[in-house]
Amino acid sequence: MTASIAPQAAETAGDHRTADTAPVSLGRILVALDASEHANRALDEAIRLAKSADGVVTGIHAYAAALHDRRFKMMEGGLPERYLEEEEMGYQREVHDDLISRGLNIISDSYHDAGQAACQAAGVLFKRLSPEGKNYAQVVAAARSGEYDVLAVGALGLGAVPGSLIGTVAERVVRRSPIDTFVVRDPRRAVGDGPIVVGIDGSPLSYGGLMTALDLAARTGAAVHAVAAYDPYYHYVAFNKIAGVLSEEAGKVFRFKEQEQLHEELIDDGIAKIYQSHLEVAETIADDLGVKISTKLLDGKPYKAVLGYLETVGASLLVVGKTGVHADDELDIGGNAENLLRQAPCHIWLTQTIYTPPLDVVASETVSWSVEAEKKISRAPEFVRDMARRMVLRHTQKLGHTFVTSDIVDEVMGKAMPGFAGNDAGADRELTWSEAAEKLLATVADAAVADNIRLRAVKRARRDHSATVMPKHVTPFLDLADSERPAWSAAALARVVKVPQMVRETVKAGIEDLALERGLKDITLELAEEGVAEARKAMCPVPAPEDEGTDEISDQNGDEDQSGAAASALSADHPVTWTDAAESRLARVPEGIMREMTRQRVENMARQTGAESVTLDLLEEKYAGWAKGSEKRQAEMAWDPAAATRVERIPDFIRPMVVSEIERCARALGLDIVNGAAIDKAAESWESLGAFHSESAPGQYKN
């Protein structure tokens, strides 16, 4: 991050309305003060951001004098007998009036004095705002005045007690605030102590959040992670529930089976690709600004998936749109935003500024649709129709067309939704349940919850292309119920931590399956070692045929073939550290399986050479070896433009090798032209097997 990003629309002289385009201005920050730890951290962060933008901080503290006066008058009749003389009561009224008129002002001034001292120390201009009235109402009124760009509040105030998630004042303010709101959730941490995570759902608000996140990162030195989360299980459960109450005749009238199949196609593959396309747009936006970001597609209940990611990466700030892609005009805050507001372990920035990617602006203004194409796109379920439309527009523009025809819709949506054109999805096959999975489900006492978990587990098994529902398909959803799961010993957990991250969850699920199948309630180190050994055995590569020519693409530095990287790394008993320079260089490799496999290969090299850490020189040495092998590789097949664009993000030194492997996959799939499906299949295979070079695993792409 080298420079902040200037707001797209600055206010004109005399115009006090805030710009509604991102990134939000940091020139006028309003901070709610109450001397609590959360409010003090909000003040510190506001000062830091305002200083970076030559801005002004305004502190606000409201005092409810009229409320206190009314309550005193209501209490007069219940005072002790000695106060019931008129003279004494008159005196008490004078004292209380003086307390109300002067005391509350003194308290408010003390908050402002502390704020002003902090601002003066930082060289930031400080202003005071001390309105009379209900605290939340006065803060909201100030936010609505048009005088401020951002509101900073603490999630909890002086009334916080253990177990509190968010204070009533903070929640009321957040719901009603018309401007970007920064909520401090952990007073011990500053923005930048961990990465800034931004949620992307394809809406202008989410891209507005991205622009603001990039700006904040430039000012704080934080990395930016963009995530998109979707739930592939909800609609499967919903359709099965609906099917249970529809009569056969009603099912025919509503063409239920056809609709179910259409949603299945979309949810199995299409939504993932749509949300992945949003992340790719986010990556393009950042690239155009000269910034590299990490992206991650998450599946599951969106807010829960994001919460898990925040914990995993140690985020310092989450930036999300206050409402999401499905919001209507009456919605004050989206469901996912509301849950994240209450449960996020880090600070949260709820944005209300928008940004529309230039590609979408140009496409919407220059491209028109045929009647047939409009009818075709209308077949997509309503809740993703707008996203699907944008995908088609982007593809049409890339092809150089200005008119969308039905064949273009079929091409784009056919990749996202197999069978879209003809709606030829196959009927669901029945899955068997393992005994251990059945026993695990039986621990759920609530029948309704158990049925919900059963359907989700079936869906997860189908996504794994498994003919049997295993415990690993059930356990991800047991947080919906109070079911017992195997307890991990500290030694067992420590052993699993040594497993490479790219296969760690798979190995952990396998170990839990072993425990459940044997009826064990505790996972010991011995069981963990057994599970790791089983995983290593499953990942061991098939020896490469001599005539496959693996020498030219095997590692030039003496370590094992890449197809065995995950298996050999499972046996590594000591971690290898990375220098900051090496980590920064590695970050240029696209996040996901490619980066993880690169990390493992380099660490294996470090172990074999006796190095305790990966330095930039060691990493460059490894890259040079790969570049030497890549020099001998040339593309042999035709590529469609979209697929070619995707691989351009792969670093030059390894791109020819990756292209060669993807072409192997395309040929295995019977394709004449390499398309996105071949890339997706290849990546899926690499991730599931922990293997890259297919010479050592014949048939790898056919499974």
Residue 14 pLDDT level (bands cut at 50, 70, 90): very low
Q: How far is CA 123 from CA 54, 126, 267, 329, 656, in A?
A: 9, 9, 53, 41, 53
- Asked whether residue 214 falls in the same domain as residue 171, the answer is no
Residue 570 pLDDT level (bands cut at 50, 70, 90): very low
Residue type, 267: I
pLDDT at residue 173 in the model = 94
124, part of any domain:
yes
To which residue do tokens 């196959």 refer? 426
More confident residue, 332 or 28: 28
Determine the Cα–Cα distance for residues 427 and 452; give it in Å rounded to an integer. 21
Range picked from 93-107, 245-259, 354-368 for highest mean pLDDT = 354-368
- Asked whether residue 573 falls in the same domain as residue 584, the answer is yes
To which residue do tokens 């202008």 refer? 204
How large is the average pLDDT for residues 398-421? 71
pLDDT at residue 571 in the model = 47
pLDDT above 80 for 368: no
pLDDT above 80 for 692: no
Residue 50 pLDDT level (bands cut at 50, 70, 90): very high
650, part of any domain:
yes
Range picked from 326-330, 386-390, 429-433, 462-466 for highest mean pLDDT = 429-433
227, part of any domain:
yes
Share of the chain above pLDDT 70, in %: 67
pLDDT above 90 for 223: yes
How large is the average pLDDT for residues 293-301? 88
More confident residue, 391 or 318: 318
Q: How much is the pTM?
A: 0.55
How large is the average pLDDT for residues 146-166? 84
Task: Give the residue numbers spanning the domain of 351.
Answer: 196-356
What tokens appear for 336 in the block?
């996912």
Q: Which of 6-10, 243-247, 592-596 has the lowest mean pLDDT?
A: 6-10
- Asked whether residue 348 falls in the same domain as residue 471, the answer is no
More confident residue, 618 or 187: 187
- Asked whether residue 203 falls in the same domain as residue 330, the answer is yes
pLDDT at residue 563 in the model = 40
Determine the Cα–Cα distance for residues 52 and 42; give it in Å rounded to an integer. 16
Q: Would strands 28-32 and 150-154 be described as parallel, antiparallel, or unpaired?
A: parallel
pLDDT above 80 for 663: yes
127, part of any domain:
yes
688, part of any domain:
yes
Identify the domain boundary among 184, 214, 247: 184
pLDDT at residue 515 in the model = 82
How large is the average pLDDT for residues 110-136? 91
Residue 16 pLDDT level (bands cut at 50, 70, 90): very low
- Asked whether residue 342 falls in the same domain as residue 386, the answer is no
- Asked whether residue 372 falls in the same domain as residue 285, the answer is no
Residue 18 pLDDT level (bands cut at 50, 70, 90): very low
How large is the average pLDDT for residues 416-440? 65
What CATH number is given to the structural domain containing 369?
A: 1.10.8.550
How large is the average pLDDT for residues 249-264? 54
Coil, helix or strand at residue 302 = helix
Can you say whether the dihedral through the CA atoms of 687, 693, 696, 699 is positive or negative? positive
How large is the average pLDDT for residues 694-702? 55
pLDDT at residue 82 in the model = 56
pLDDT at residue 20 in the model = 66
Q: Which of 80-89, 290-299, 629-638, 657-666 has the lowest mean pLDDT?
A: 80-89
Nearest to 60 by CA among 157, 3, 149, 132: 132
Determine the Cα–Cα distance for residues 623 and 593; give it in Å rounded to an integer. 17
Polymer length in residues for the chain? 703
What CATH number is given to the structural domain containing 124?
A: 3.40.50.620
More confident residue, 32 or 67: 32
More confident residue, 385 or 508: 508
Determine the Cα–Cα distance for residues 409 and 403; give it in Å rounded to an integer. 11
231, part of any domain:
yes
pLDDT above 80 for 651: no
- Asked whether residue 202 falls in the same domain as residue 77, the answer is no
421, part of any domain:
no
pLDDT at residue 198 in the model = 97
Residue 492 pLDDT level (bands cut at 50, 70, 90): confident
CB atoms within 10 A of CB 90: 10
- Asked whether residue 81 falls in the same domain as residue 139, the answer is yes
pLDDT at residue 364 in the model = 59
What tokens appear for 632 in the block?
């001998």
- Asked whether residue 72 falls in the same domain as residue 33, the answer is yes
Identify the domain boundary among 356, 387, 405: 356
- Asked whether residue 471 falls in the same domain as residue 597, the answer is no
pLDDT above 70 for 626: no
How large is the average pLDDT for residues 212-218? 95
Q: Which of 4-18, 275-289, 689-703 has the lowest mean pLDDT?
A: 4-18
pLDDT above 80 for 264: no
pLDDT at residue 119 in the model = 95
Q: Which of 1-5, 41-45, 136-140, 646-650 has the lowest mean pLDDT?
A: 1-5
pLDDT above 50 for 696: no
Residue 548 pLDDT level (bands cut at 50, 70, 90): very low
- Asked whether residue 252 falls in the same domain as residue 401, the answer is no
Identify the domain boundary among 160, 184, 208: 184
Residue 132 pLDDT level (bands cut at 50, 70, 90): confident
How large is the average pLDDT for residues 319-328? 83
pLDDT at residue 168 in the model = 87
pLDDT at residue 330 in the model = 75
pLDDT above 60 for 174: yes
518, part of any domain:
no
- Asked whether residue 264 falls in the same domain as residue 338, the answer is yes
Residue 375 pLDDT level (bands cut at 50, 70, 90): confident
How large is the average pLDDT for residues 16-40? 82
The CA-based diameter of the chain, rounded to the nearest angstrom, is 110
Coil, helix or strand at residue 333 = coil
> Please, what is the average pLDDT of the chain?
75
Query: DSSP letter at 215?
Result: H
The total number of structural domains in the chain stands at 5
Strand partners, 319: 198, 349
Find all residues with CB under 8 Å of 690, minimum gap 6, and list them: 500, 502, 503, 539, 565, 566, 567, 597
Nearest to 353 by CA among 219, 206, 224: 206
